[in-house]
Structure 1
C-alpha cells in the first residue's frame, strides 16, 4: 500500500509499506477513504513529540471501509463504512468502564497516562495511523462506529478527533448559563469549542487568534467576538478590560504545544526536548480567567514539563480540567447536533490533497499558507 512515512522533522515521504495484517482475533483492517491532518500532527512534524520514530505513519483522523475482520469481531462486517475514534481502547478496563477511553490501561505499554492513539509516536503505543491506504484497527468491536447514512463523510472524519475535541473542551469548562467563555485558538478545535459553548449556555464567546482567515471563520461559523492578539501589547489585559476587569468565567485552551513562545522555549522544546511545547497559551488561560474560574485544556502537549504558572492557578483558586478526548463518549449527543445543523464540522475544511501530495499538504498547513484551516487527505485520489 501507499502510506505517509516520517523521515525526521519536516521530512515526510509517501512510500510503499506492507498492507497491515490481522494480529489479534479482535482486529479489523480498514481501507481508508478519507483522512485528515490535525493540528496536533504538526507537533510530530516539527519534532516536538519525543519517540517519534523514522518510518512511522501519522494520522489519527480517518474513516473507511472494513476490508477484513478477525475471528472474534462480532459488531463489524466486511464492507461496513466506519468512522474510527483516534483513541485505541479495550472497552473493559477500569478506565474504559468509566468512559475514560483516552486513558485505557491495556493499549499503551509506553506510558501510564494516555492510552493508545493512531499515528502519534511511540509515546502513545506506536500504532501506525490512517494517512495511508489501509490501517489496522485493534479492538474493532469497541472503537469504530458505522457512519450514519445521513452523515456527510467530511463531517464524519472530523468527528473522529477535531470536532469531538472542541466539544469536549466546552464540556470540561462546565459552562453555566450566561458565562463569558474565551477560546484561545481559532483552529478547527477552537472553532467547534466556540460553537459548542453556545450549546452549553454561554452568554458571550470570545475567540483569540492572530490569523485573519481563522478569526473571520470564528465570526461567521461560531458567531463569536474575536481578538487579534497581534493588535495588543498584552492580550490578557485586553481580555480583562472586556470583562469588567474580572476575567472570563471559562477559558478553553485549544492551541497546545505550538503556541507562539520565545526563542528559548522553542529551542528547549524542539531541539533539547526539555519542554512539551510553549506554555504561552496555558499561561494566558491562567492569567485571563477570573478568580475561581475554570480552565479547560484540550491542546496537545508532550509528556514532559512546561513552564506553567501553577502557583498563580493555585492562588486564584482555579479549576483546571484536561484530558485527551474520549471520542466515542461524545458521539451520541454530537451526532444529533450535527444532524440538526447546530454543529457544522465540515464547514472548517479548506483544502483537500491526494495522499501522494501529503508532504505539500503538511507544508501548507504548517506554514498557514493559502488560508489553510483544515486539510483533508484522499488516499485513493490520483
Structure 2
C-alpha cells in the first residue's frame, strides 16, 4: 500500500459523473486485500468503495444530479443483461470484472471517483456525509437479512461479531421484529457496541452470557445465527435448533466438516451472503436518510487518508507482516477523511 499521484479524472462520457470524495470507509474486504488473503483484487487497483462526496463534473446527458450535489456512491455496477442480473442476482453479475470499485476498478481511497449517473444518489441536507458512507455496507446487510426466514418472530437470534456489519445486522434484524444478542470477545469493541444497539438487542462477551442474560436459559437454542467472523460454523452447527438458519458473511478461507444427515433431519439452513441485491442499496439509503438506522453512531474513527497505515492498524492490520489480528481498540467503522490533493491509496 502506497500513496501515489495519478492523472486527474474527468467526465468524458455523456453519462459520466465525477465525485470529489469526502469520506470512504474501510471494509473487511479491504483488510483482506491488504493482508493478501483476498486474491480476487486486481494488483495495483486503488482500494475503497464505501464512499460519499460532492459532484464536481457531469456529462451532458446527466439529469439526476448536478455539480455541487452531496451524494453517496453505489460502488458495484452490474450489466443488467447476463443471466445472474436477469434473475435478480446482480451481486453475482458475470460481467462485473473491471467494474467493481476497489477490487477490479479504481476505488474511492482517492480525491476523485469516476462513475455514471445511475450509481449516485443525492443526500438530503440533514444527512451527514459520514453517516451516508455506511449505505453500502448496510445494503450488503439487507441482502443477507432478506434471506433469513425465522421460524418464529420469537426466534432466539445471535449475531457473532460487533464490528460494523455485526451492529448493522443487529439493527436490520430488529426492524424485522427479532431481538438479537450480539456476541463480541474483544472487551473494547464490546464496550463500544453496548450503547449503539437497538432497544431489543444486547451485547455480551460470550455465547453462555448471551443465552443466560438475553434469553434467560443457559441452554437456549440457536434459531438464527449470523456469523460475521466466517469461522464458527463447525463449532455452532451442533447447537442449532431444528428449523434454524446459520448465515456466514465473512470472507475468510476456512474448511468445515458438518454432519449432512443432521442438515436434513433437523431441517437446517446454512447460507451465505455477499454484496447488494436488486433494490437493497435504495432500501439502505432510505433507512439511513430516514434515521431509522443511526449510522453515524457506528463511526468510531475518522482518519486522514495520509495516515492510512494508522487507519488499518486501528482495525488490527499489520502492514509490515501483511496480517490481520484481533483489534485492541474500541473500533467499529473507520472512515478515511480524503483531504490531501492528488493522492490515491
Shorter chain as denominator, the TM-score bin is 0.7 to 0.9
**Match status 1:376 vs 2:335:** yes
Q: Is the 8 A contact 1:253 1:285 kept in 2?
A: no
Q: Is the 8 A contact 1:236 1:287 kept in 2?
A: no
1:199 CA displacement: 1.1
1:254 to 228, 234, 241: 228
1:42 CA displacement: 0.8
2:109 to 128, 131, 134: 131
Q: Is the 8 A contact 1:160 1:327 kept in 2?
A: no
**Match status 1:198 vs 2:138:** no
Q: 1:314 to 1:147 in 2, by over 3 A?
A: same
Aligned partner of 1:296 in structure 2 is: 247
1:158-205 Cα deviation digits (max 9, x unpaired): 1122x3333433332223411111101110100111122111111x32
CA distance in 1 between counterparts of 2:314 and 2:47 reads 17
**Match status 1:209 vs 2:209:** no
Q: 1:213 to 1:370 in 2, by over 3 A?
A: closer
**Match status 1:350 vs 2:336:** no
Q: 1:319 to 1:186 in 2, by over 3 A?
A: same
Q: Is the 8 A contact 2:15 2:62 kept in 1?
A: yes
1:288 CA displacement: 3.9
TM-score normalised per structure 2: 0.82
Q: SS at the partner of 1:314?
A: helix
CA distance in 2 between counterparts of 1:318 and 1:23 reads 51
Q: Is the 8 A contact 1:246 1:290 kept in 2?
A: no
Aligned partner of 2:8 in structure 1 is: 19
**Match status 1:118 vs 2:101:** yes
1:16 CA displacement: 0.8
CA distance in 1 between counterparts of 2:258 and 2:64 reads 45
Aligned partner of 1:187 in structure 2 is: 163
The structure, 1 or 2, with the larger RCO (C-alpha pairs under 8 Å, 6+ apart) is 2
**Runs of 5+ consecutive residues of structure 1 not aligned to the other structure:** 1-11, 110-115, 121-125, 257-279
1:144 to 96, 120, 136: 120
Q: Is the 8 A contact 2:13 2:59 kept in 1?
A: yes
1:98 CA displacement: 4.8
Matches within 5 A, 1:58-97: 58-97=47-86
CA distance in 1 between counterparts of 2:13 and 2:229 reads 36
Q: 1:328 to 1:354 in 2, by over 3 A?
A: farther
Q: CA RMSD in A?
A: 3.1
CA distance in 2 between counterparts of 1:169 and 1:41 reads 20
1:279-336 Cα deviation digits (max 9, x unpaired): x23334534432221122322346xxx3123545634432233332316722444444
